[in-house]
Structure 1
C-alpha cells in the first residue's frame, strides 16, 4: 500500500513543479508565445506525469482521500509563489492554508 501513497506524493510534487514552470513560462507578448516557451512545455509535461502518478495511486487509495490530498499542492505553490516571485502572504491566505492542511489531516485520519 505504501507504494501507492508514494506515487500520490510524487504526483503532488510533480504538479507543484509543473505549476511553477507554467508561471515561469508566463511571459511573451502573445498566448502562443507563452504556450510554446520551454518552461510552459516542461510544466505541461510534468502535469501529465503527475496525472499518471495519480492514476496509479487511485488503484488502491480511495478517491475520497487521494483527491483532497492533492490540495496540499495549493499550500506548496502558495509558499513557492512567495519565495520565488515575491507574492504577498496575508493573514487570510495563511488562515486558508491552515484550513486546507487541517482538512487534509482530518480526511486522511478517517480513511
Structure 2
C-alpha cells in the first residue's frame, strides 16, 4: 500500500508542479525572468519531489501500472487549467479525458 501512496502523491505533486509552472509563465514577461520567478522554482521543486516518490513507487509496482497511472495527471491538469486559467475544456477534451481514465482503469484491473 505504501508504494501506491507514493505513486498517488507523486501524481499530485506533478499536477501541482505543472500548475505552478503555468502560473510562472503567465506572470513573467521574459523567459529569463520566468526561470527565476518563485512559482516556476516551486513548480520545478515539486517535479523533483514527484520524481523521487515515483522512484519509490517503481520499487514495488510494475511500470505497466505505474506509468499509465501518471496519465491521470493529464486529467487533473486539464480540469485545473480550465478552473484556474480559463483554458478550454470542451467536448473533445472531455472525450480525451474519458479515454485516459478508461485506459487507466483497464490497465489497473488485474
If the TM-score is normalised by the length of the shorter chain, which range does it land in?
Answer: over 0.9
List structure 1 segments (4+ residues) > 2 angstroms apart after TM superposition.
none
RMSD: 0.7
Gaps of 5+ in 2: none
Partner of residue 51, structure 1: 51
Gaps of 5+ in 1: none
1:18, 1:37 → 2: CA distance? Answer: 13
How much has 1:29 moved relative to structure 2?
A: 2.4
Q: How many residues are paired up?
A: 109
- The equivalences for 1:1-111 within 5 A come to 2-26=1-25, 27-110=27-110
- Secondary structure at the aligned position of 1:81 is classed as helix
* TM-score, structure 2 as length reference: 0.97
